């Protein structure tokens, strides 16, 4: 079965083509036949597409003004050129999409129908950086052939186990009954890395107290106990919680009414400020990309340093707030683009938790450390860097649903 995964993030489009004949006795992820990745933030003038297949890697520049055209260009590399792996796109049996927000309606992988598309569209105000690009991905596949089956795998599903006291906001209860609650996001990633972590340290997942840090352009932290999500930093929308690339994360809600009263901002202007103009970009004034901000900091830029300091402080703050509900900590996991690649951020985050017995081995941290424990031998807490495999997790769910 050929399964294409489209994983649209707030600043990137990742895609993989898998061929799965059986999941029996498969523990580690299969290697994709083909991989494509579009980064929309690496350059202000164009998107960057990287494609890898047949042992060859190619790079293309894409215009910034049309996401659907970019997706089509990416998919076309599967059927022509050095990265060709299939004869025609309709040879794909199913396409699985990571969908950020499923609301209260969807808690499991679901075949995409017009009703599902309508729900994804209705939820755009709750995931404005994500749900629109999910729809563009779905529409791109429909434009190729409407008969190709498509499946939505929801990022909110893993967090359905969060208890009411952590899920319900302290506002009038009627709003909870109308769907306003903590949903949580990056669930596919948090679930995968927690399972992979248990395999690496060779302990049962249901015996562990874990905090997973998904740090990319979007950031979230999840407390996992007995294999289940019991709290997470993102909430009703992906805006709550940590400082992110261009998102503010949690702020005093009265700031919004102050914006309306003092600046006469309407809801669209406020939405733009909080989702597109805040976070690392808003504080540094330079970029939403941490790599660029860190370079500026190293060159003496004070606002860039402030942005990084706030970013680290917010991560530490959330980790600390989750400890009481876990009742201890067995493992701290870093994943996603920043979590996997920034030794500096990992070191700074861990520094404040020495009182817990968290001891980072700085030498291991600086080396290639994917899917490894980078804690010292006498650390009370395991510290792992795990390459998140959302695409593989989505592919497995698609295979199981069809099978």
Burial pattern 278-310, b for ≥16 Cβ within 10 A else e, equals: bbbbbbbebbbbbebbbebbeeebeebbebbeb
Closest CA to 39 of 241, 216, 189: 216
Is residue 363 a part of any domain in this protein?
yes
- Provide the 8-state DSSP code for 234: -
If DSSP codes are grouped into helix, strand and coil, which group holds residue 354? helix
On whether both 232 and 335 belong to a single domain, the answer is yes
Same domain, 282 and 137: no
pTM reported for the whole predicted model: 0.86
Say whether both 229 and 311 belong to one domain.
Answer: yes
Evaluate whether residue 236 is within a structural domain. yes
CB 214 within 8 Å of CB 184: no
Pair 339, 271 in one domain: yes
Q: Are residues 250 and 127 in the same domain?
A: no
331-335 β-sheet, strand order: 228-232, 219-225, 209-215, 331-335, 382-385, 372-373
Rg (CA), the chain: 21
Same structural domain, 218 and 359: yes
* Residue 157 DSSP one-character state: G
Q: Which of 130, 154, 178 represents a domain boundary (last residue)?
A: 154
Which of 137, 154, 171 represents a domain boundary (last residue)? Answer: 154
Within this chain, do residues 228 and 377 fall inside the same structural domain, yes or no? Answer: yes
Is 176 a member of any domain? Answer: no
Cα(134)–Cα(112) distance, rounded to whole angstroms? 12
48: domain CATH number is 3.30.420.40
Q: For residues 336 and 388, is the Cβ–Cβ distance under 8 A?
A: yes
Residue 5: name the closest of 30, 24, 22, 25 by CA.
30
Residue 184: both structure tokens together? 């949580």
- N- to C-terminal Cα distance for the chain? 10
222 with 344, same domain: the answer is yes
Non-local (6+) Cβ contacts of 241 within 8 A are 219, 220, 221, 232, 233, 234, 235, 249, 250, 318
Domain assignment present for residue 196? The answer is no
pLDDT in tens, the chain (403 residues): 999 999 876 667 889 999 998 887 777 889 999 999 988 777 767 788 999 999 999 998 888 777 778 888 898 999 999 999 999 988 999 999 999 888 888 888 899 999 999 999 988 888 777 888 889 889 888 988 888 999 999 989 999 999 999 999 999 999 999 989 999 999 999 999 999 999 999 999 999 999 999 999 999 999 999 999 999 999 998 899 999 999 999 999 999 999 999 999 999 999 999 999 999 999 999 999 999 999 999 999 999 999 999 999 999 999 999 999 999 999 999 999 999 999 999 999 999 999 999 999 999 999 999 999 999 999 999 999 999 998 999 999 999 998 8
* CA pair distance 332, 381, nearest whole angstrom: 7
Domain count, the chain: 2
Instruction: Report d(CA 349, CA 370) in Å as an integer.
Output: 18
Residue 339: inside a domain, yes or no?
Answer: yes
pLDDT for res 213:
98
- pLDDT at position 9: 67
Pairing type for strands 209-215 and 331-335 reads parallel
Instruction: Give domain status of residue 243, yes or no.
Output: yes
Domain extent, residue 66, equals 2-154
139, part of any domain: yes
Angle 254-262/267-276 helices, nearest 10 degrees? 130
How does 92-113 read in b/e, with b if 16+ C-beta sit within 10 Å? Answer: bbbbbbbbbbbbeebeebbebe
Residue 188 within a domain: no
The backbone torsions φ and ψ at residue 250, rounded to the nearest 5 degrees and listed phi first, read -70, 135
Structure-token pair, residue 70: 């970019």
Cα distances from 62 to residues 67, 97, 241, 327, in angstroms, run 9, 22, 32, 48
Same domain (yes/no): 117, 210: no
Can you spell out the DSSP letters for 33-101?
SEEEEEESSS-SS-EEEEEEETTEEEEEEE-TT-HHHHHHHHHHTTTSSTT--SS-GGG--EEEEEES-
Q: Are 359 and 223 part of one and the same domain?
A: yes
Which residues are designated catalytic?
A: 155
Which pair of tokens denotes residue 189? Answer: 């990633």
Residues 369, 240, single domain; the answer is: yes
Count CB neighbours of 59 within 10 A.
10
Task: Provide the pLDDT for residue 10.
Answer: 62
Residues 77 and 136 in one domain: yes
The pLDDT, as a whole number, for residue 252 is: 97
For 22, counting Cβ atoms within 10 Å of its Cβ (0-12 exposed, 13-18 middle, 19+ buried), the class is exposed
């Amino acid at each position: 079965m050929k399964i294409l995964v489209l994983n649209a993030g707030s600043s990137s489009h990742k895609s993989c083509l898998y061929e799965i004949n059986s999941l029996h006795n498969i523990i580690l992820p299969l290697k994709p036949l083909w991989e494509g990745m579009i980064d929309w933030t690496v350059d202000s003038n164009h998107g960057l597409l990287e494609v890898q297949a047949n042992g060859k890697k190619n790079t293309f520049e894409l215009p910034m003004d049309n996401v659907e055209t970019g997706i089509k260009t990416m998919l076309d590399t599967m059927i022509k050129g050095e990265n060709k792996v299939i004869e025609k796109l309709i040879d794909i049996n199913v396409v699985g999409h990571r969908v950020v927000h499923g609301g209260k309606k969807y808690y499991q992988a679901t075949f995409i129908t017009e009703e599902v598309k309508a729900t994804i569209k209705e939820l755009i105000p709750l995931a404005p950086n994500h749900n629109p690009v999910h729809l563009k991905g779905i529409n791109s596949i429909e434009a190729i052939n409407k008969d190709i089956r498509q499946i939505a795998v929801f990022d909110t599903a893993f967090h359905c186990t969060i208890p009411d006291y952590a899920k319900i906001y302290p506002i009038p209860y009627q709003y909870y009954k109308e769907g306003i609650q903590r949903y949580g996001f990056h669930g596919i990633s948090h679930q995968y890395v927690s399972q992979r972590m248990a395999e690496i340290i060779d302990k049962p997942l249901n015996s562990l107290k874990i905090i997973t840090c998904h740090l990319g352009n979007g950031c979230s932290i999840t407390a996992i106990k007995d294999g289940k999500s019991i709290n997470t930093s993102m909430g009703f929308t992906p805006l709550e919680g940590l400082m992110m690339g261009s998102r503010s994360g949690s702020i005093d809600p009265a700031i919004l009414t102050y914006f309306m009263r003092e600046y006469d901002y309407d809801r669209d202007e406020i939405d733009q400020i909080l989702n597109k103009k805040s976070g690392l970009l808003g504080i540094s004034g330079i970029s939403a990309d941490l790599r660029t901000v860190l370079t500026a900091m190293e060159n003496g830029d004070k606002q860039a340093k402030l942005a990084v300091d706030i970013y680290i402080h917010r991560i530490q703050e959330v980790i600390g707030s989750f400890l009481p509900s876990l009742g201890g900590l067995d493992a701290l996991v870093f994943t996603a683009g920043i979590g996997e690649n920034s030794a500096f951020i990992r070191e700074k985050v861990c520094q404040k938790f020495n009182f817990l017995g968290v001891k980072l081995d700085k030498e291991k941290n600086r080396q290639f450390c994917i899917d490894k424990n980078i804690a010292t031998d006498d650390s009370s807490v395991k510290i792992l860097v795990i390459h998140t495999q959302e695409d593989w997790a989505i592919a497995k769910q698609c295979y199981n649903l069809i099978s």
